[in-house]
């Protein structure tokens, strides 16, 4: 029987930025509650229809240099394997595949299967075959030596259709990366939960699920990116090594779920931030990072133009600048406003070191993160 892991109440869609402050404050809200099944599968108990979820989707993976560096390192990890044909599932603007081609000394066949038609041009201009579709066995693609899916598996509600697609089109190794829910729970990162992410995976249920489709996990390696990511290598061939023993991770998962402390984390961070804000310890404050986790963070803490007055969120993505964070009324602006502020609170804490270093080169104020804990950088 499922029980509640985290309930953030009614939340706006985190990536659907708004045109005006009024529109942002009136943004439609949907239930955002994560539940845990008996087998430790974690999922939302309410699914927003994709047409609404991706109506104003502005995320572009290529805007993050740390992610590009991560992609280059990923290629180096499998370049010793046959990789003539590579399929990336949900490859967005093609950043991963572009990086693979740049790192390779040979011409590769690169295929991006993505549900958003709006990114076709930038993929095809880079020599990537683009297929506008939801991944599954019906997708018209050749068998691939390598299939990658980074930060996309948790978006998929019909997980069995997804795995049937892997089963049909894989002829080598599937490399899967996803936010590891054990890390999310242990660090109280409530901002990892938003409507686009339907599942929040632990390894215990995944291991059983993959066996149903003849997939063996042959390698598991935690990654620092995105607030704590797990990278798994799976194959549907007979591997030269046995399936990996995952007990070093799975033995902690039940205990972590039972001891989850998200509500405590939200209350603690909220009280700390409001105290610092009211008492002028931060001086004049702005935020950095108009990503989904930032929207969730601000709304979970109840920060908006009505509760704390007008504030801004700096972001380097031109397409986001001038728009407003849903539920808050805070405008997204560029870095030119930095001299007006004493403190920047980094919302995109998964890239905090990169952001802090870049800010320090042009500005001398305080730099703070509030998750996983209050920290001055």
Specify the pLDDT at position 182: 96
Cross-strand bridge partners of residue 186: none
Residue 357 CB: number of other CB atoms within 10 A? 11
Q: What is the CATH number of the domain that holds 243?
A: 3.40.50.150
Residue 40 lies in a domain: no
Q: pLDDT tens-digit profile of 231-286? A: 999 999 887 667 789 999 999 999 999 999 999 999 999 999 999 988 999 999 99
DSSP string, 241-270: SPPPP-HHHHTTHHHHHHT--HHHHHHHHH
Specify the pLDDT at position 337: 98
Mean pLDDT of 307-331: 96
Residue 11 CB: number of other CB atoms within 10 A? 21
Sheet holding 109-114, edge to edge: 129-132, 109-114, 85-89, 144-150, 170-179, 229-235, 216-223
DSSP string, 117-132: GGGHHHHHTTT-EEEE
Q: pLDDT tens-digit profile of 53-78? A: 876 666 667 667 888 899 999 999 99
Alpha-carbon distance 188 to 156, whole Å?
23
- Count, in order, helices (H) and strands (E) of the chain: 14, 17
Residue 231 lies in a domain: yes
Q: pLDDT tens-digit profile of 83-116? A: 999 999 999 999 999 999 999 999 999 999 998 8
Q: Which residues contact 240 (CB under 8 A, 6 or more apart)?
A: none
Residue 22 lies in a domain: no
Collapsing DSSP states into helix, strand and coil, what is residue 240?
A: coil
Residue 53 lies in a domain: no
pTM of the predicted model over 0.85: yes
- Residue 369 scores a pLDDT above 90: yes
Residue 264 lies in a domain: no
Alpha-carbon distance 11 to 265, whole Å?
18
Q: pLDDT tens-digit profile of 17-49? A: 999 999 999 999 999 999 999 999 999 999 999
Alpha-carbon distance 64 to 322, whole Å?
20
Residue 314 lies in a domain: no
Distance of CA 181 to the CA centre of its chain: 12
Residue 105 lies in a domain: yes
**What pLDDT band is residue 296 in, cutting at 50, 70 and 90?**
very high
Cross-strand bridge partners of residue 217: 234
Query: Where do we find the tokens 């070093």?
Result: 248
Q: Which residues contact 116 (CB under 8 A, 6 or more apart)?
A: 54, 57, 92, 132
Range of the domain at 243: 61-258
Q: pLDDT tens-digit profile of 328-348? A: 999 999 999 999 999 999 999
- Residue 375 scores a pLDDT above 70: yes
**What pLDDT band is residue 157 in, cutting at 50, 70 and 90?**
very high
DSSP string, 148-208: EEES-GGG-S-HHHHHHHHHHHEEEEEEEEEE-HHHHHHTT-GGG--TT--EE--HHHHHH
Distance of CA 290 to the CA centre of its chain: 13
**What pLDDT band is residue 227 in, cutting at 50, 70 and 90?**
confident
Tell me how many domains the chain contains: 1
Residue 203 lies in a domain: yes
**What pLDDT band is residue 373 in, cutting at 50, 70 and 90?**
confident
CA separation, residue 287 to residues 9, 256, 317, 374 (Å):
23, 31, 14, 14
Specify the pLDDT at position 117: 87
ω into 327 cis (within 30 of 0): no
Collapsing DSSP states into helix, strand and coil, what is residue 288?
A: strand
Q: Give the sign of the dihedral formed by CA 66, CA 70, CA 76, CA 79.
A: negative
Alpha-carbon distance 189 to 260, whole Å?
10
Alpha-carbon distance 138 to 133, whole Å?
9
Specify the pLDDT at position 52: 86
Alpha-carbon distance 21 to 293, whole Å?
19
């Amino acid at each position: 029987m499922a029980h509640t892991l985290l309930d953030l109440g009614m939340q706006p869609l985190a990536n659907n930025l708004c045109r005006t402050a009024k529109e942002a404050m009136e943004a439609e809200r949907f239930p955002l509650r994560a539940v845990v099944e008996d087998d430790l599968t974690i999922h939302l108990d309410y699914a927003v229809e994709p047409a609404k979820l991706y109506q104003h989707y502005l995320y572009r993976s290529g805007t993050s240099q740390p992610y590009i560096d991560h992609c280059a390192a990923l290629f180096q990890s499998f370049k010793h394997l046959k990789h003539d044909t590579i399929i990336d599932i949900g490859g967005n603007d093609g950043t991963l595949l572009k990086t693979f081609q740049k790192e390779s000394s040979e011409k590769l066949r690169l295929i991006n299967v993505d549900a958003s038609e709006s990114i076709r041009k930038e993929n095809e201009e880079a020599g990537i075959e683009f297929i506008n579709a939801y991944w599954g066995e019906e997708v018209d693609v050749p068998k691939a030596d390598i299939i990658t899916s980074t930060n996309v598996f948790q978006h998929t509600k019909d997980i069995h259709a997804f795995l049937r697609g892997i089963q049909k089109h894989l002829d080598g190794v599937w490399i899967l990366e996803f936010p590891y829910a054990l890390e999310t729970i242990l660090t109280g990162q409530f901002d990892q939960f938003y409507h686009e992410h339907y599942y929040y995976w632990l390894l215990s249920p995944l291991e059983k699920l993959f066996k149903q489709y003849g997939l063996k996990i042959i390698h598991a390696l935690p990654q620092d990116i995105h607030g704590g990511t797990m990278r798994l290598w799976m194959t549907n061939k007979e591997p030269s090594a046995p399936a990996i023993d995952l007990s070093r991770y799975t033995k902690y998962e039940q205990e972590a779920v039972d001891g989850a402390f998200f509500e405590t984390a939200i209350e603690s961070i909220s009280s700390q931030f409001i105290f610092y804000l009211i008492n002028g310890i931060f001086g004049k404050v702005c935020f950095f990072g108009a990503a989904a986790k930032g929207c969730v963070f601000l709304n979970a803490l109840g920060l908006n133009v009505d509760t704390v007055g007008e504030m801004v969120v700096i972001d380097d993505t031109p397409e986001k600048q001038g728009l407003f964070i849903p539920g808050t009324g805070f405008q997204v602006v560029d870095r030119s406003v930095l001299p007006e502020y004493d403190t920047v609170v980094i919302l995109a804490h998964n890239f905090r070191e990169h952001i802090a270093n870049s800010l320090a080169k042009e500005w001398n104020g305080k730099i703070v993160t509030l998750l996983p804990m209050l920290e001055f950088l």
